[in-house]
Amino acid sequence: MMRWITAGESHGEALVGIIESVPAGLAITSADIEGALARRRTGYGRGARQKFEQDRVRLLSGVRHGRTLGSPIAIEVANSEWPKWRTVMSSDPVDPKDLMIDAGTGDEREVARNKRLTQPRPGHADLPGMLKYAHEDARNVLERSSARETAMRVALGEVARQFLRQVAGIEVLGHVVQVGQEAAPARQLTLGDADAVNASDVRCVDAATAARFRAEIDGAKRSGDTVGGVVEVVAFNVPAGLGTYTQWDQRLDGQLAQALMSIQAAKSVEIGDGLTQTQTRGSRAHDEILVDARAYRPTNHAGGLEGGMSNGEPLVARVGFKPISTVPHALRTIDLENRTAAKALHQRSDTCAVVPAAVIAEAMVALVLANAVTQMFGGTTVDRARTAMDSYVRETRARLQP
């Protein structure tokens, strides 16, 4: 089983991730990971931090001369702003006096950064986290619950993406289909759209829709607010049969839903036309199997998943994101220091994180699919996995040929 975990605080020295059971022989470099991280950083609606902070990647283990060894792969994404946070985020004890200085910047805000945060911000993990772990300073919660962690998900996701590409020719592409009230017209994404999606600052191929998305983000920013939306991830060239109906936790749709719902600010996951199907009669909801030169499906309402397995059609998942919780309009809360009514502190933040969320959702889908592929086709070397998968695809294709 391919397993992966992350560690690291938002303003800590670095994020660290480990992914294990990646087969040997996969071509991967730190440049590939840097490229993936660059895609996550861009996007309309991001805040100031993305402009000055840099992600510095080091591939610490599991890869030699550009090829995986089969051993655990450890990745570090260091935070270029660490010198400013060295004291406030120090692992070792610090002199309380050091928390009252401006870190040599002459900037009063640097002192503010060191102060204890006792007013949990609604929508964030702050309040339940402070209660659960008995923290008096919300920073002890927010540093880890922050979506900064998604940088490591994307770094690990790049390993999975290269694995899927090199073993199975599977490609994963995410785009934005809704920002606030503005929705893109229904349209099936194709692999040919990849360059246009990547070139768009709102990850949307249609210029008119992209303009509406930007206007929606601008409107939220002008009114001191934030805005959410929906991203859609499509995986192409997925063979039928990944996942299984035979046990609940092995179902691919369930694994995708868990992975996607775990992204910070995610509030809904939809597979295919799942929500529309709740209002559709069964006679029109399903994807009939027609036989021509080969068996094919004229529709893909199921989003490529039937019975908890991929069915050979493009896999389609949508993730709904709430407007991010760091709302410039201060929200009402409690000050846990004196248990009085207060206003939540706001420093700076993104107006909309839906655009990077499309890249993050791609990474999560890639990680789930890479695990499913290794489970089915073996996981010691890339070449053996590819040979096993090619033979399976040939065999199953022949069964669909009249």
Annotated binding-site ranges for NADP(+): 40, 46
Dist. CA 152–CA 134, nearest whole Å:
27
Dist. CA 351–CA 198, nearest whole Å:
20
Is the Cα torsion angle 180, 182, 188, 189 positive or negative in sign?
negative
Strand partners, 298: none
CB of 124 to ligand EPS, least distance (A): 7
Which residue's beta carbon is nearest to the bound ligand EPS? 147
The tokens for 60 are 């610490």
**Residue partners of 29: CB distance under 8 A and separation at least 6:** 59, 63, 66
Minimal CA–CA distance to 124: which of 149, 143, 110? 143
Nearer to ligand EPS, 268 or 349 (CB): 349
User: Per the annotation, where are the binding residues for FMN?
Assistant: 144-146, 264-265, 307, 322-326, 348
Dist. CA 348–CA 16, nearest whole Å:
25
CB of 27 to ligand EPS, least distance (A): 27
CB of 145 to ligand EPS, least distance (A): 7
CB of 241 to ligand EPS, least distance (A): 36
Nearer to ligand EPS, 43 or 379 (CB): 43
User: Per the annotation, where are the binding residues?
Assistant: 40, 46, 144-146, 264-265, 307, 322-326, 348
Nearer to ligand EPS, 38 or 191 (CB): 38
Which one of the spans 1-9, 141-149, 210-218, 243-251 is the region binding ligand EPS (CB under 6 A)?
A: 141-149
By CB under 6 A, is residue 75 in contact with ligand EPS?
no
By CB under 6 A, what part of segment 158-177 binds ligand EPS?
none
By CB under 6 A, is residue 147 in contact with ligand EPS?
yes
CB of 137 to ligand EPS, least distance (A): 16
CB of 230 to ligand EPS, least distance (A): 19
Could you give the string, one character per residue 319-338, with x where binding to ligand EPS holds by CB under 6 A and - elsewhere? -------x------------
Dist. CA 90–CA 235, nearest whole Å:
41
Question: 280-306 burial, b if ≥16 CB within 10 A, otherwise e?
Answer: eeeeebebeeeeeeeeebeebbbbbbb
Which one of the spans 152-160, 306-314, 331-339, 343-351 is the region binding ligand EPS (CB under 6 A)?
A: 343-351
Residues that bind ligand EPS (rule: CB under 6 A) add up to a total of 12
253 three-class SS: helix
Dist. CA 302–CA 313, nearest whole Å:
9
By CB under 6 A, is residue 146 in contact with ligand EPS?
yes
Could you give the string, one character per residue 35-74, with x where binding to ligand EPS holds by CB under 6 A and - elsewhere? ------------x-x-------------------------
248-257 CB contacts, 8 Å cutoff, 24+ apart: 250/308, 251/308, 251/309, 252/305, 252/308, 252/309, 252/310, 252/368, 252/372, 253/305, 253/308, 254/308, 255/368, 255/371, 255/372, 256/305, 256/315, 256/317, 256/364, 256/365, 256/368, 257/317
CB of 389 to ligand EPS, least distance (A): 34
By CB under 6 A, what part of segment 346-375 binds ligand EPS?
348-350
By CB under 6 A, what part of segment 98-137 binds ligand EPS?
none
Dist. CA 108–CA 76, nearest whole Å:
31
Minimal CA–CA distance to 375: which of 392, 363, 361? 392
Among 18, 63, 138, 151, binds ligand EPS (CB under 6 A): 151
Dist. CA 323–CA 357, nearest whole Å:
12
Nearer to ligand EPS, 138 or 205 (CB): 138
What DSSP designation does 323 have? P
CB of 128 to ligand EPS, least distance (A): 15
List residues near ligand EPS by CB under 6 A: 10, 47, 49, 146-148, 151, 264, 326, 348-350
